Chain A
């Protein structure tokens, strides 16, 4: 349909403008995603409006729900920010998930060392965070090494290491680190003095929130305000020419992995210290995988990850109530998120193709 319009863009200028204007084309993408979701819900014999109501209530209906959204926004935005480095360098760090897991494992390791000692809790917490960062970085570095020196595409390297991280986690929580007596897939709870301080009666830690906000600013400054960020972008845009211009592309790609791992490790540490207070299976919560979609939509603009991560996490948290209220599976959140990204990519593609054709018409 679009193709016919391009032959005579002037005659259909309204539709043409609608599809080529960035804002209206993105709005259309969101509308399409919502229509698509509604159709699916209708297919499942449920009312789309009550589904969206349930999701909105689930996310924002009470202070409790809202603090849960904010709490979960922290790991998602941190993961997405980490991915900004690898996306900028043109890399697909699917290994984010395992890097978060490793961060959590390393950070809990420190807790075990200091468990029962009378070391200052602030010191232990700082050590935990540093150890978490080390764990995430190590895991990311391995993927980077495999990519650079072994020719193993980071998608497969990263995925493999995700599964290995899961195995390490399972081994620990069912083996040496299981609480006495029971093996239920989680370790024993952290001593409360090692918890990041939380707002009374919620799971939200202002410290974790603060760290996330600082990271948003830091990553934005690094990527958009420094020479390093510029070079990284060059590596991502055109690897070969950057190399010919004298940028050590391999070194920059490794560095992108390392920086991504730093944020992944931090995410993992905060999941242990600020939210779960145990080490357990699935502690990464899929934030690495969702973060990739957030990162795609953010289109290497770190500042944009904040609102997109917020929308995505509100969908995830809001959909949790679907099973209870409407007997629908909460995986609908993943469907909506996926549909959003797909339609944004489609509309973006349509827009670019139309603009290119239109320019061709003008010049020719």
Chain B
């Protein structure tokens, strides 16, 4: 009983792997001032590529590499079209989200039903022996371990290194970074590419360990949009973003577990549950930015106003100041 509970909680961490890779990739990209809106399509296409390359070459490594490459290429296309050609990032990202999804279904159709290959679990010696927690955290695939590490690497990189300071700079005040000798656009290309590669690994991780490529990925379609929302919800901070990702997967898991309690309701309705939550979450973190809230608060008694304002400020997030704005030297 105890052990099966540990295994099912462990599956939450396994499921969260692709989401973590996606959130970290997008966090880095947006920190650099570029928005990769194509995530939903990128994830599906890279899930397909990872599966196809991985299973046909019988080599997981190649599968992940190919997926990372495709993810990076999509991201670089967005960088090229928005940074160099000055097209709207939203427009480019949206079209790519739709087009790459179609591309995945078109190119992946012949591989539906091909023999499945799932990434093996590699229990970590000693750590996996820890009662309960060991079975949850340390009997996972290598990529799941990497998803834990990635969160801390991103945090360390952004907040503790000089390079991270530059990364924050090109997203917040690119002109100031430029004056200090940073090649803003080149750095944006690099971070967008890296972010895209991480998204690609996330896609491959889904099809090679969570659920295999079956031509539709019905539970996966839509996750990309959720990841974009989690990035906002986590206020572009790797640790908060990771928290959002685990929370989301936990809620999704609870939906599946609790579903038998309501047998009359179609199961597909439960798959929708994250989306109203997404709106609510975004409402919570954004409402503090609205003018009417300030105006309403001003009419309230001082102590009430202060308490509410404090709560709102705690929840409030604001994006990197230069997010989505092309950088011009002049």
Contacts and interface: CB of A to CB of B under 8 A. Distances in A.
Contact of B84 (A162, A174, A353): A353
A334 interface: yes
B283 A164 contact: no
Given A164-B276, A167-B269, A150 B102 contact: no
The majority secondary structure among interface residues of chain B is: helix
Contacts of A152: 279, 282-283, 286
A180 B283 CA distance: 40
B94 A348 contact: no
Interface of B: 37, 77, 81, 84-87, 90-92, 94-96, 98-103, 105-107, 109-110, 222, 225, 228-229, 232, 264-266, 268-269, 272, 275-276, 278-279, 282-283, 286-287, 289-290, 292
Contacts of A150: 282-283, 286-287, 290
A45 to B, nearest CB: 9
Q: Top 10 A-B pairs ranked by shortest CB distance?
A: A338-B99, A349-B85, A334-B102, A151-B286, A329-B109, A163-B275, A167-B272, A160-B279, A331-B105, A331-B106
A342 B85 CA distance: 12
Given A334-B101, A335-B106, A338-B98, A149 B292 contact: yes
A163 B272 contact: yes
A334 B99 contact: yes
B99 A40 contact: no
Interface of A: 40, 43-44, 92, 94, 146, 149-153, 155-157, 159-164, 166-167, 170-171, 174-175, 289, 292-293, 296, 328-329, 331-335, 337-339, 341-342, 345-346, 348-350, 352-353
A160 B94 CA distance: 16
A337 B279 contact: no
B278 A156 contact: yes
B269 A170 contact: yes
Contact of A329 (B101, B105, B272, B283): B105
Residue with the highest number of chain B CB atoms closer than 10 Å, among A292, A345, A348, A353: A345
B266 A170 contact: yes
B30 to A, nearest CB: 13
B99 A342 contact: yes
Contacts of B232: 156
A140 to B, nearest CB: 15
Contacts of A333: 102
B318 to A, nearest CB: 10
A119 B316 CA distance: 54
7 contacts: A40-B107, A155-B37, A159-B275, A164-B275, A335-B103, A346-B85, A349-B85
A155 B278 CA distance: 12
A338 B96 contact: yes
A341 B88 CA distance: 13
Contacts of A151: 283, 286-287, 289-290
Nearest to B277: A160
B266 A94 contact: no
A144 to B, nearest CB: 13
A341 B95 contact: yes
B272 A166 contact: yes
A153 B282 contact: yes
A329 B272 CA distance: 27
Contact of B222 (A44, A163, A337): A163
Contact of B106 (A159, A329, A346, A349): A329
Given A171-B269, A349-B81, A353-B86, A338 B102 contact: yes
Contacts of B94: 92, 94, 292
A337 B106 CA distance: 13
Contacts of A328: 106, 109
A156 B225 contact: yes
Given A151-B287, A328-B106, A329-B109, A337 B99 contact: yes
Contacts of B264: 175
A170 B272 CA distance: 10
Contacts of B276: 160, 163-164
Contacts of A342: 77, 81, 92, 95-96, 99
B85 A350 contact: yes
A352 B86 contact: yes
B12 to A, nearest CB: 22
A277 to B, nearest CB: 23
Nearest to B286: A151
A296 B96 CA distance: 13
B98 A289 contact: yes
Given A335-B103, A342-B95, A149 B290 contact: yes
B63 to A, nearest CB: 18
Contacts of A163: 222, 272, 275-276
A43 B283 CA distance: 45
Nearest to A157: B279
Residue with the highest number of chain B CB atoms closer than 10 Å, among A92, A152, A166: A152
A219 B268 CA distance: 37
Contacts of A329: 105-106, 109
Contacts of B107: 40, 43-44
B99 A348 contact: no
A337 B96 CA distance: 11
A120 to B, nearest CB: 36
A206 to B, nearest CB: 31
Given A146-B283, A152-B286, A164-B275, A353 B96 contact: no
Contacts of B96: 338, 342
A161 B283 CA distance: 14
B234 to A, nearest CB: 14
A153 B91 CA distance: 15
A159 B282 CA distance: 12
Nearest to B270: A167
A339 B99 contact: yes
